[in-house]
Structure 1
Amino acid sequence: MRTLTRYILRRHAGPFIFAVIGTTVLLLLDQVSKRFERLIGKDLESAVIAEVFVYSIPFILAQTLPMAVLVAVLYVFSRMEGDFEITAVKASGIPLSRVMAPLLVCAVILAGGMTWFNNTVLPQSNHHLQVLLTGIGRKKPTFNLREHTINEVLPSYVYVHPGMIDREESVVHDVAIYDERNGQESRSIYATRGKMGFSEQGEDLYFDLEDGVVQVRMNERPHAFRRIAFERMLLKIPDVANGLERDTAAIRGDREMNIADMRVEADRGAQMADAARSESLVYAQAITAMLLDFEQPLADAPGPVVRPAGGTRTGVSEIPDLDDYMAGRLDDIADRKDGIPDLESDVPDWEADLPDRGDDLSATPGALARGEMGPEPAQERAAPDSTTQVAESAARRFYSASDAANQFQSYAEREVTGLRRINQYWVEIHKKGTIPAACIVFVLLGAPIAVRFPRGGVALVVGVSLGIFGAYYVSLIGGERLADRLWISPLWAMWAPNVIFGAAGLVALARSTKVMR
């Protein structure tokens, strides 16, 4: 058995290494073709360009290692069955599952190593790559302009909208420039043609514009503007950096985090959803209490309220504090009570009979003032104190049914946003283990297929590999989309492809494991 194990592993080593190198090079060339346009004309050093592609390799390896496993298994088992080696093994009383056992053990080890790799190395490489690409994109913004797009050249101040760009000559046609550097006026510059260039220091950007107009609008007089035609105009945009700057403190995306960081972000989404549900509940209770408060309707509360003829609130000049208002009413009641002699001696001590509310009031101030609603236990409170205050503050602005509908819709949207945030990060957490586990699935699925079609050759390897890869990754992407829409849980969204393909592999293996005697 040891001889067979060594033989199986030795037969797979070469094809696996070749498949890893081949698929990695192919995907790396695809990345080169996609990023070539962003790198050309940037005056970058060769070391920087090489760094871009080095940081791209970990992301590619995370995808190509499972591919290489399937390619190697299909190729080796197809050759072994074609040479009647699998038939001889079965004739010796050894089932196909025993032949696959060493590969399954290696696949488990590879899956564990990939999981560690995806959680430690891959987030860091993705972050460094994103920081580097962002710095390259800002190095020479003129070469990063996109046609028929508003491009931000100077953040929040200067925007350029080119119609057509001749990158070899650094010329733009049908260009529009929006200049907001002067706080008192806004300038819109339109030109049929313009040449771009940097100063010798590489910090200032120049536009040599031809045949255009300048429209100046004063911010204090938005309905009046000046229009100036020109045949040639030199526009200088200072302090446009042309050096390669790396913002290492940039915010990380979900694919630039490890599992611990993503769990923290998912917990924030859960807190957002819980806060929205709690505020919605407290808001509903506060509105209900206010609607049932017939002794003092909201319309009679002090403070002028502006209402249009159509019945829709257009503005509130002052919204009174409900606690202060109820405190004033209690003072009025106390003043009236002073005129009744011996009232306290005839009335039992009702304050002593009430439970101790402490500082937390679970009911609305109006209801508590009348003694109609008591406190709730700490474990049954609808929301924390801060959440309760926010919801009750929103309830004080309630006037019509449309106000309540809009507020409830806002709570629902916040809850959905929180739930989507949870699913977004948990999808990436599960993905760090799902793709490595595909190595095991591809061994179970590839070996029976190769044994069933021994004369397939290279066509079998290429065709079956592309078909399985395509179906598997489409399933992953589809599951991710369904999880983002909250239709299924992230767990099933990411692990369902492995379960389906693994089950198919086990069925195929059961049909192929026939011992010949």
Structure 2
Amino acid sequence: MKKLHKLIVISYLRPFVATFFIVSFILSMIFLSKYIDELVGKGLEWYTILQLLGYNFAVNVPLALPLAILLASIMTFGNLGEQYELVAIKASGISLSRAMVPLVFVMVLLSIAAFYFSNIIMPRSFLKMGSLLYDVRQKKAAFAIPEGVFYNDLEGYSIRVTKKDPDGKTLYDLMIYDHMQGNGNMNVVLAKKGEMFKSDDDRYLVLNLYDGVRYSENPGDNGYNDRQRQVRIRFKEYGLKFDLSGFNLSRTKEELFKDHYQMLNVRQLLVKEDSLQNLMALKQRNLDAYIEPTFLLYKPHSNYKTIKPIKNLSWKNKDVIMNILPATDRLIVVDDAINSMRNVKSYLTSAKEEATTQSEILRKHMVEFHRKFTLSFACIVLFFIGAPMGAIVRKGGLGLPVVISILFFLVFHVLSISGEKFAKQGKLEPYQGMWMATLVLVPIGIFLTYKAATDSAIFDAEKYQRFFKRLFSKKENQ
């Protein structure tokens, strides 16, 4: 019995590990292709890109793990069925459910590991990937002055070079606009030749110019005199220094991103949800306190409960209240009432928008809370779909098992994405949207497990043909 369990576990782990890493690699390449434009041309170190891919690898686990479990389950039991090993196992008195026991324990361990990963590892990976990706986006492209066009990536300067030597350091026919003072193109430097190099600490770019002239236009000494004064300075050698800090990858503090809902664990999500609910309740109380004084006619009072309503009341003189007021005060009262209602309407509009935003944030936190648990249960459910499906189709390899696993995974993924979207939009409760895919697949897993345990041929075409023939023959007789 122990040898059989060892055989089944080893047969399962091989395709599982291979599938998991293949799917993770494909998802990482998709991520790389998505952000390739923001990575290329910025002079990033190889370890920075590798670090970014490593964080993305961890983030992709919720997609790669269920697919790997499903495909490995179908392949394992499909191979056992195709090689008649399942027949031999059943002939020895061991049922399919007993043969699945060691893998059930493996699935339980994987589910526990998946929960730990979702709760601890993935939030940290999201935090580090998000902060690193933000810094990469903020980084300027690698420093390289092209020929014949103005280069504007040096802060406060615009440089045009007509020709460069192959070494990239010697420049000819330069035009440099100095915008550091923020007064437009008032300062310009022309030079026949220039040489550039970086400082020893790579923080500055030094540009030595030769045989040139510097033009600058300045306003007159008197503030009321708008005439410009032009200053022209010829030089044999002139030096400029440019700050290159914007071309370095400067890391932002991760504390700035740590409050995002994707970067919180279960305990932090519960605390955040409680804080958001208390904040929304406080906003509602403030709204009630602000609006209540404006509706004096409907102000609640304990005596209202004892007063009997008057039926069929006819109010012929509808403007009796206005008649009580002096004619000179009526317009003032009406204007005050209109202004009061406008203020209330404006306050209500602002409060509604704020409440909608707070509600959306709360739903996102609740969705993320349920996500921590759905991955673990999805691993078990997909196993109980894949294992009996492999035993039923009795096909191993990468043919039919891949097709079946992709179909089931697409159903699972579409339901998960749709449920999450509906939950964030408020069309479903967060627990309903996040558990929808799992609840839909549970009956399918139970049905397939029952059919595989009872050796029912659910893919027998002749069986369905006989069923439909009997069905149509009964209708014709009727």
Classify the TM-score, shorter chain.
0.5 to 0.7
In the other structure, the counterpart of 2:271 is 264
In the other structure, the counterpart of 1:364 is none
Distance 1:9 1:84 in 2: 17
Q: How many residues align?
A: 354
The Cα RMSD (Å) is 3.9
Note the C-alpha offset of 1:458. 2.1
Among candidates 392, 413, 424, match of residue 364 of structure 2: 424
Q: Cα 1:280–1:186, aligned 2, differ >3 Å: closer, same or farther?
A: farther
In the other structure, the counterpart of 1:173 is none
In the other structure, the counterpart of 2:388 is 448
| Larger displacement relative to structure 2 (41-50 or 103-112) | 41-50
- Specify every segment of 5 or more residues in structure 1 that has no aligned partner in the other structure, as ranges: 144-151, 161-168, 170-178, 188-197, 207-235, 314-396
8 Å Cα contact 1:66/1:436 also seen in 2: no
8 Å Cα contact 1:139/1:242 also seen in 2: yes
In the other structure, the counterpart of 1:273 is 280
In the other structure, the counterpart of 2:56 is 56
Q: Cα 1:204–1:73, aligned 2, differ >3 Å: closer, same or farther?
A: same
Distance 1:94 1:29 in 2: 44
Note the C-alpha offset of 1:76. 0.9
In the other structure, the counterpart of 1:338 is none
In the other structure, the counterpart of 2:294 is 287
Distance 2:420 2:114 in 1: 20
Does residue 489 of the first structure (1) align with residue 407 of the second (2)?
A: no
Distance 1:270 1:63 in 2: 31
Q: Which residue identity does 1:417 align to in structure 2?
A: T
The C-alpha deviation readout for 1:141-173, integer Å capped at 9, x for no partner, is: 589xxxxxxxx989xx99x9xxxxxxxx9xxxx
Note the C-alpha offset of 1:481. 1.1
Note the C-alpha offset of 1:267. 2.4
In the other structure, the counterpart of 2:97 is 97
8 Å Cα contact 2:206/2:242 also seen in 1: yes
Distance 2:117 2:395 in 1: 37
8 Å Cα contact 2:127/2:257 also seen in 1: no
Note the C-alpha offset of 1:77. 0.8
Note the C-alpha offset of 1:2. 3.0
Q: Which residue identity does 1:243 align to in structure 2?
A: N
The C-alpha deviation readout for 1:103-122, integer Å capped at 9, x for no partner, is: 12211111111111222122
Q: Cα 1:463–1:285, aligned 2, differ >3 Å: closer, same or farther?
A: same
Q: Cα 1:282–1:50, aligned 2, differ >3 Å: closer, same or farther?
A: same
Note the C-alpha offset of 1:186. 9.3
5 Å-filtered alignment, 1:221-370, equals: 241-248=246-253, 249-252=255-258, 253-289=260-296
Distance 1:142 1:267 in 2: 46
Note the C-alpha offset of 1:282. 2.6
The C-alpha deviation readout for 1:294-346, integer Å capped at 9, x for no partner, is: xx99xx9xxx9x989xx778xxxxxxxxxxxxxxxxxxxxxxxxxxxxxxxxx
Distance 2:273 2:37 in 1: 36
8 Å Cα contact 1:427/1:494 also seen in 2: yes
8 Å Cα contact 1:423/1:486 also seen in 2: yes
- Specify every segment of 5 or more residues in structure 2 that has no aligned partner in the other structure, as ranges: 144-151, 159-167, 169-178, 186-195, 208-240, 301-320, 457-478
8 Å Cα contact 1:287/1:398 also seen in 2: no
Distance 1:279 1:398 in 2: 22
The C-alpha deviation readout for 1:367-388, integer Å capped at 9, x for no partner, is: xxxxxxxxxxxxxxxxxxxxxx
Does residue 512 of the first structure (1) align with residue 455 of the second (2)?
A: no
8 Å Cα contact 1:430/1:491 also seen in 2: yes
Q: Cα 1:204–1:286, aligned 2, differ >3 Å: closer, same or farther?
A: farther
Residue 339 of structure 2 aligns to a residue in which SS?
Answer: coil
5 Å-filtered alignment, 1:127-146, equals: 127-140=127-140
Q: Cα 1:276–1:100, aligned 2, differ >3 Å: closer, same or farther?
A: same
| Larger displacement relative to structure 2 (84-93 or 39-48) | 84-93
Distance 1:203 1:130 in 2: 29
In the other structure, the counterpart of 2:373 is 433
Note the C-alpha offset of 1:205. 13
8 Å Cα contact 1:95/1:515 also seen in 2: no
Does residue 23 of the first structure (1) align with residue 27 of the second (2)?
A: no
8 Å Cα contact 1:266/1:421 also seen in 2: no
Q: Cα 1:499–1:186, aligned 2, differ >3 Å: closer, same or farther?
A: farther
Note the C-alpha offset of 1:495. 1.4
Q: Cα 1:441–1:203, aligned 2, differ >3 Å: closer, same or farther?
A: farther
TM-score with structure 1 length normalisation? Answer: 0.60
Note the C-alpha offset of 1:257. 2.1
Residue 501 of structure 1 aligns to a residue in which SS?
Answer: helix
Q: Cα 1:205–1:434, aligned 2, differ >3 Å: closer, same or farther?
A: farther
8 Å Cα contact 1:483/1:493 also seen in 2: yes
The C-alpha deviation readout for 1:459-482, integer Å capped at 9, x for no partner, is: 222212221222212211111111
Note the C-alpha offset of 1:423. 1.0
Note the C-alpha offset of 1:452. 2.0
8 Å Cα contact 1:271/1:418 also seen in 2: no
Residue 248 of structure 2 aligns to a residue in which SS?
Answer: coil
In the other structure, the counterpart of 1:174 is none
